[in-house]
Amino acid sequence: MSTTCLEYRAAQKKPPDYWKTSKGVTRRIDSLAQNFNYRVINNAVKVVAPTAGAKWLRWRDFGDAQVCSRCLAYASGGRNGYYKITWFTPEMPVHLGCRCQWEIVFGDPFT
CA-closest candidate to residue 27, choices 53, 45, 7, 49: 7
One-character DSSP codes across 7-51: HHHHHHTS-GGGGGSHHHHHHHHHHHHHHHHHHHHHHHHHHHHHH
Kindly report the number of other CB atoms within 10 A of residue 7's CB atom: 16
**What are the residue ranges spanned by the domains of the chain?**
5-105
On the question of pLDDT at 76 being above 70, the answer is yes
pTM of the model: 0.72
* pLDDT per residue as tens digits for the range 15-66: 778 878 898 889 889 888 988 988 999 889 999 999 999 999 999 988 787 8
Give me the pLDDT at residue 4, please: 60
Is residue 64 within 8 Å of residue 58, measured between CB atoms? no
